[in-house]
Amino acid sequence: MFDYDSMPLGAFKAQMRAYLASGAPPGAFLTAILSNDLRRTLDASETSAEIEALPGLFAWLRYQAPTVCYGSHEAVRAWIEDEDGKRTRIIRQLVDAGQRP
């Protein structure tokens, strides 16, 4: 199960939940973070709190999110499009284990 309560910047919890569970494209800031695109992350940030939360957001991804759903633009696209059914399989495994994605 993904621990959304430990995610920095609670404003992004709904976007991250929708992205992980159903492949809904997140906003520009989270997309840039997920894509490992620092320049776009900085360009898309709207507040200093977002910049200050970057280490925590990256740590959250590392310890909470499936590694196949982030790290490059290609990984994000593949997760959104459910390429090869990876997202579906991972979410199904969570649900089958009684966990909420």
pLDDT digits (tens, 9 = 90+) for 25-83: 999 999 999 999 999 999 999 999 999 999 999 999 999 999 999 999 999 999 999 99
- Tell me whether residue 42 is in a domain: yes
Judge whether residue 1 has pLDDT over 70: no
Q: Which residues contact 73 (CB under 8 A, 6 or more apart)?
A: 35, 37
Q: Do 35 and 73 contact (CB within 8 A), yes or no?
A: yes
88 in any annotated domain: yes
- Phi, then psi, of 60 in degrees rounded to 5: -60, -45
Q: Which pTM was predicted?
A: 0.89
Q: What is the mean pLDDT of residues 76-96?
A: 95
Task: Indicate the residue type of 64.
Answer: Q
pLDDT band at 85 (very low <50, low <70, confident <90, very high): very high
Contact 75, 82 (CB under 8 A): no
Ramachandran area for residue 33 (φ above 0: left; ψ -120 to 50: alpha; else beta)? alpha
Is 101 part of a structural domain of the chain?
no
Host domain of residue 70: 4-96
Q: Which amino acid is at 95?
A: V
85, part of any domain = yes
Q: Between 99 and 53, whose confidence is greater? A: 53
Q: Is residue 60 part of a domain?
A: yes
Count of domains observed in the chain: 1
Please tell me the predicted confidence (pLDDT) of residue 5: 83
Note whether residue 78 is domain-resident.
yes
